[in-house]
Each structure stands twice: as C-alpha cells, then as structure tokens.
Structure 1
C-alpha cells in the first residue's frame, strides 16, 4: 500500500465492505478508555508526588513530571489492549476476505474475538506477551501525558474555569 491510508481503506471497502473498517474497534475503545481512566485517576497523585522532589517555583516542570508519570501508569492498562487489537487486525487482514453485513451480533463478536485473541497471546507467550513493546509505549504515552498535564491548566485559564 506504500504507506497510503486511502489505499488501505479502499481495499478494505472493496474486499470486506464497510463493516471491515471496524475490525479491531473494540480493542481501540479498550485501549483508549483504559489509558484515559488510569491517566486521570492518577494525575493528581503523581502531580502531588512531583512537588516533593521539584522546587515549588517549578510549577510547569511539576505538571510535566506528574503528567509523564500518569501517562506511563496509563500504559500499564493500555498496552494489553493495543497488543491484542494489533494482533487481531493482522490475523483478520491476512485471512481470506469475508464481507459481513452489519448486525448486533457482529458488534458482540468483536468483543468475543478480542478476548479470544488475548487468550491466544497469553497461551503462546504468557502474560508478558500482552506487554510486548511496553517500554516504547510507556515513553510515548508518558510524553503525551506530560503534554496534556501542561495544557490542562493553560486551557482552564483560557476558559476561566
């Protein structure tokens, strides 16, 4: 596909129909909601902890450090979902194309298939298999968390809340 997202979408629509665009959708939702929940649940804690090791007048650095730690913490919950979703998409897209009509059952099968792929990964590689690429992911999401923690106060001030 020569790194062309449009070509990938056209191929999926042609061979699998529009429901093919939702392959791995549950995994996408799982990884995003798990990171967001863990990030916002831990941000205040990590921000408070950063105040114990950084000078009081380094407020922005405290926000960055707290956000980075919260983002890395979120990766603990996010990574298994991302590994499962990626493995699921690779396996399905490597198989013979099938066009499925939309149905509620199709939505439910996405959940079932997600956990079935997770079971396969654990059976083959142990629990650690769900954390392949964790180091890179933790650094990436830590950086995203740091940026978000820096921008939240800025947007609050801009909106007067």
Structure 2
C-alpha cells in the first residue's frame, strides 16, 4: 500500500505536516511513502503544466491512502491547498485513492470543517473518504490521544 501525506500549510515543515505524518504512521504502522509539502511547489501552483506540480499530482493520484491536511484559515482549508487540489481532474483525478481529511485549529469552533469543507472537495475529485475527517487542536495534538483514539475507532473501516 502506497501512503502519501499532503500538507497545505503556507509554512514549510509545519505542525500540519507533522500531524498528518503522525496520522499516516498511526493508520499504517510505518512512515508515509511520500510527503507533499504543498508550499514547496511554489509559483508552479498558479498555472498548469509545472513539472514539480505534475510530479506531485501523479504521486498523489497513484497512492492508495492519502492524508490531506490543512490548518483552519478563515473557517476553511487554505488557499494553497485549494491551488493544489485544482490540479486534479474533477471526478477522476483521485479515483482509486482513499483519502483522509485532517485539519488543525486553535480551538474547537471549527471541529466540523474537515467533514463539511475538505471532504466534499476530495469526493468531487474522485477520492473515496470512508472515514470521518479528523480535527486536531494545534497546540495539543502531540500530547493528547486524539490521533490514537481516531485510529482505534476507525481502523476497522480501512481494513
């Protein structure tokens, strides 16, 4: 099984990337095969045909399991993640990919954002999202048991 983490944070090497990597490891028992820190794709995200962006899209599209992660910005996922997701064809760009939406925020006010905002976009692009999205508090996710609890509860669905 090929596992990829996609982190859509405007800051490279972010807590979002760390949390997504932790979740992917907890779900699979090993480090992800690929990591796409979207901000590192730079200005190539603003158009079509950039080699680095195309390679990242191909990597994600050929993965079996992808954790898509974003911090909560203005009550939704980031624009940089949206720019990356816009590179995938509607209905088929993520066909065959099992996607897990993950978002981080400062407090519980946006706890439904992964399911209400990120998951529908992933499904529109053809991904299968059998699990509910996971929302983590960005200041406590390394200390609390939310990732472990989530994996224990939902791992049977992934098989």
TM-score (norm 1): 0.24
Which protein has the larger Cα radius of gyration, Structure 1 or Structure 2? 1
More strand by share: 2
Looking at both structures, which has the greater relative contact order when contacts are Cα pairs under 8 Å and sequence separation is at least 6?
Answer: 1
